[in-house]
Chains A and B, each alone.
Chain A
Amino acid sequence: MSLGDSATPLGRVKGLGASGHGGGHWLEERFTSVMLVFLSLWLIFSLAMLPVFDQMTFTQWLRAPSGGIPMALLIVFAFRHGVDGLKVAVDDYVHEEGTRIGIHYFLNMAGIAGVSIALFALGKIVFGAAA
């Protein structure tokens, strides 16, 4: 593991860390977390401002761009951040490389399945016939 003194700072961290991805995964987890600070507060405050909680009210809220767009972003970033976080825990506790990669594949696929289901449903709410 000697890259010599000529290695760039990026060259030194590439491939390192429990995930084998150096700093990229770490940075992505921070970026998605900052996005989720705004998006989750948006969700809480806009729910609090709805007059009642029923299917009609929620549907109208999401059909407006001010509801549907942040909700789509929330779904995408929440699944991304959640899968990233679970991978970090797996990297810490699963030391057998094949098993580790297998679990990462499973987490990626489960995350893609979840985000697809949630976005499809949101699309149906937003673009479907008005209730």
Chain B
Amino acid sequence: MNRTAQRPLSPHLTIWRWGPHMMVSILHRITGGALTVAGLAVLAWWMSALAGDGDGYAKFVELAQSVPGTIVLVGLTWAFWQHFFSGLRHLVLDTGAGYELKINRLFSVLVIVGAIFATALTWFVIMGVGR
């Protein structure tokens, strides 16, 4: 990309009022990155631990149930649901629908609220099965 220093850049990040649509957009990237780097590492690690002996698996469980482990797992669960609902929103937007200001804003708010609700529900179920 050839940008010469003389030409002004659009001040795109500094002049807009922050809104739920911008929040959802940037969260889609951040949660996608976190799910790929941390989420897939946990998935591969979980599979490897399951494939190994009981001692190795006990170590995995111990780490997963520690305070930092729980924070990571709950964080990944939220990242998953946020990216999931946001991704559904993108698939709708890809069809050319949902760009009206009010609808777009409503979808964005629903994505944020839905992800928090789904995360809480998921862990409610997990706690019921796991303990």
Interface on A for B, CB 8 Å cutoff?
30, 33-34, 37, 40, 44, 47-48, 50-53, 55, 58-59, 62, 75, 78-79, 82-83, 85-86, 89, 95, 114, 117-118, 120-122, 124-125, 128
Contact = CB atoms under 8 A, between A and B. Distances in A.
A30 B129 contact: no
A55 B57 contact: yes
B33 interface: yes
A82 B48 contact: no
Interface in B71-125: 80, 84, 87-88, 90-91, 94, 122, 125
Contacts, number: 77
Interface residues of B, number: 30
Nearest to A89: B29
Nearest to B84: A40
B105 to A, nearest CB: 23
B84 to A, nearest CB: 7
A35 to B, nearest CB: 12
Given A40-B80, A120-B51, A121-B44, 20 more contacts: A33-B90, A37-B84, A37-B88, A47-B126, A52-B129, A52-B130, A53-B129, A55-B54, A55-B57, A82-B39, A85-B36, A89-B29, A95-B1, A114-B41, A118-B40, A118-B43, A118-B44, A121-B48, A122-B51, A128-B51
A40 B85 CA distance: 12
A48 B129 contact: yes
Contacts of A125: 47, 50-51
Contacts of B94: 30
Contacts of B36: 82-83, 85-86
Contacts of A55: 50, 54, 57
